[in-house]
Amino acid sequence: MNKIFGNKTWENISFESIIPRKRNRRIGLSFPEQKKSLGLEPSVLTVLSQVTNAEFSDRNLLFNDDDVDYYICSVYISGVDEFKKWALQHNFNKIVVGGYHPTTFPEDFIKYAYKIVVGPCDDFFETISQSGQIVQGISTYKEIPAYHLYDSGQNQQIIPNKHIDDTCTSINTSMGCPFKCKFCCSPIMCSKLISKPIELVKKECIYLERKIPKPKWIFIRDENFPLQKDWKHRLYLVSSIGAKIYLFCSANLIDEDMVKTFKECNVYMVCLGLENINDEYGKNKNLDAACELLRRYGIYVYLSFIVNPLEIVGREKGIEFYKRLMNRFYDLKPEMICGNFLMPFRGTPMWDEYYHLVSEEDYKYYDSKSAFLIKNKLCREKMEFFMFYYQWLYYTSDFYQKEVRNFYVNDTLHLRFKELKNEFDIKYSRIFDKRC
């Protein structure tokens, strides 16, 4: 079976992989290397929209510095090591770096980049014209992202009922979050809710509606879309694209009027944060009622959850945790679930509890699928398997088939979990044979 979610590492890239020469280039790169199948446009595309001779490289190759004016690099935690190896082989004075990790740890990039951009940014030249090496990102909200530099036809977002040949894209109508959930890094990047000008949102929607191929699915990537006072107006604009919509929301905002508007505007799925079932969250006090409302109107529910690996050390604790979690799934009947291991972010309220367990060597594991807080390799691997395993049990259960939907439809959700099962089967086939 060909993988739809491949994986590349720095070791796959050699110095000989230099691109053919072309003068005065402004190259955008995303670290870790942008996986085409993941389907989320990298943040640098917003910056590149105002840059002439711009191009986006979805592979972090080595380039001829004589041909390049600027390297515009977006770096996330798991891409730090990859970026540093790459940067040391290029002209320091041509490298501009931004993104989550440079915002949180700008001092880590002083010897790797001419300019270090802190926070969100969509105006490249206004930002880098500021004095000093570490500068605050400037957003002028004049241009839509440079979609033409990225082939969204290759996106393979994991969505129930989305098939491989369905085109998918995304849009931001706002950025930032005013809340400070103890585990969440979003307020660090942008600590307040900033809505883009409505005319800019309209311009972007018109572009996407006319795009060929026209997207069949669109993800509104705002941290909590209905927090905006004019969210209905923005949703009507996005619905004009004609694509099925899914978006982030918190359960405490959901009422029947909102759900009716969602349905009217072709919202297909709403993403809610169940989070860690061992904790209570104000946003989830009416989670059951919110899920029931969405189900009544035929809107799918996507529940993300957090596993703190330190809380499930030992067989009994693990079984107890997943029993509680599975019971919540049976109560709420989500069409899609997504597990994430706890990732402590510097600057969040929980950082002081975990900083002593996180080293730079752990950065490469900041992908939410690694239980890196557990230092015993065998124990960590078993935890990673069981987080997958209980999701697999839910999707393949008689309950899911009868009460929720058919899992076996060869959509990207089904294909991804088959892919994961094949990977885990090599080592854990005995457990599958016994329990499935």
CATH classification of the domain holding 112: 3.40.50
Same domain, 132 and 156: no
| Statement to judge: residues 256 and 395 lie in one domain | yes
pLDDT score for 433: 64
Does residue 32 belong to any structural domain of this protein? yes
Both 284 and 231 in a single domain?
Answer: yes
For 209-257, list the strands marked E by DSSP.
217-220, 244-248
Residue 127's domain spans which residues? 10-136
DSSP code, position 403: I
Q: Please tell me the predicted confidence (pLDDT) of residue 357.
A: 94
- Distance of alpha carbon 334 from alpha carbon 295, whole angstroms: 9
Q: Is residue 315 domain-shared with residue 372, that is, in the same domain?
A: yes
Whether the Cβ atoms of residue 161 and residue 409 lie closer than 8 Å to each other:
yes
- Separation of alpha carbons 155 and 316, rounded Å: 40
Q: Are residues 180 and 233 in the same domain?
A: yes
Question: Is residue 111 located within the same domain as residue 210?
Answer: no
Contact yes or no for 48/72 (Cβ under 8 A): yes
- Asked if 380 contacts 372 with a C-beta cutoff of 8 angstroms, the reply is yes
Place of tokens 């072309």: 22
Kindly report, residue by residue over 49-72, the tens digit of the pLDDT.
888 999 999 889 999 999 999 999
3-state secondary structure 303-349: EEEEECHHHCCCHHHHHHHHHHHHHHHHHHCCCEEEEEECCCCCCCC
Supply the pTM of this predicted model: 0.90
CB contact set of 212 (below 8 Å; sequence gap of 6+): none
Element (H, E) at 125: helix 124-128
Q: Are residues 191 and 321 in the same domain?
A: yes
The last residue of one of the domains, among 101, 136, 171, is 136
Distance CA 360, CA 340 (A): 20
**Residue 386, in any domain of the structure:** yes
Same structural domain for residues 428 and 298?
A: yes
Residues 277 and 408 in one domain: yes
CB of 358 within 8 A of CB of 341?
no
Is 3 among the domain residues? Answer: no
Give percent of the chain with pLDDT exceeding 70. 92
Domain endpoint, select from 88, 113, 136: 136
356 located within any domain = yes
Q: Which of 324, 258, 333, 336 lies closest to 291, judged by CA?
A: 333
Domain C-terminal end among 102, 136, 170: 136
| Shared domain check, 100 and 68 | yes
pLDDT at position 408: 97
Q: Are residues 274 and 369 in the same domain?
A: yes
What are the tens digits of pLDDT across the range 214-230? 999 999 999 899 999 99
Summarised one tens digit per residue, pLDDT across range 282-302 is 899 999 999 999 999 999 999
The DSSP string of 268-308 is EEEEEEEE-TTS--GGGTTHHHHHHHHHHTT-EEEEEEEE-
Residue 358: CATH number of its domain = 3.20.20
Are 322 and 193 members of one domain? yes
Domain count for the chain? 2
Q: What is the pLDDT along the chain (436 residues), one digit of tens a residue?
A: 345 444 434 344 444 344 455 668 999 999 998 776 655 566 888 999 888 999 999 889 999 999 999 999 999 999 999 999 999 999 999 999 999 899 988 999 999 999 999 999 999 999 999 999 999 999 999 999 998 888 877 777 899 999 999 999 999 999 887 777 777 777 777 778 889 999 999 999 999 999 888 999 999 999 899 999 999 999 999 999 999 999 999 999 999 999 999 999 999 999 999 999 999 988 999 999 999 999 999 999 999 999 999 999 999 999 999 999 999 999 999 999 999 999 998 878 888 899 999 998 999 999 999 999 999 999 999 999 999 999 999 999 999 999 999 999 999 999 999 999 999 998 998 887 655 4
> Given this model, what pLDDT does residue 377 score?
94
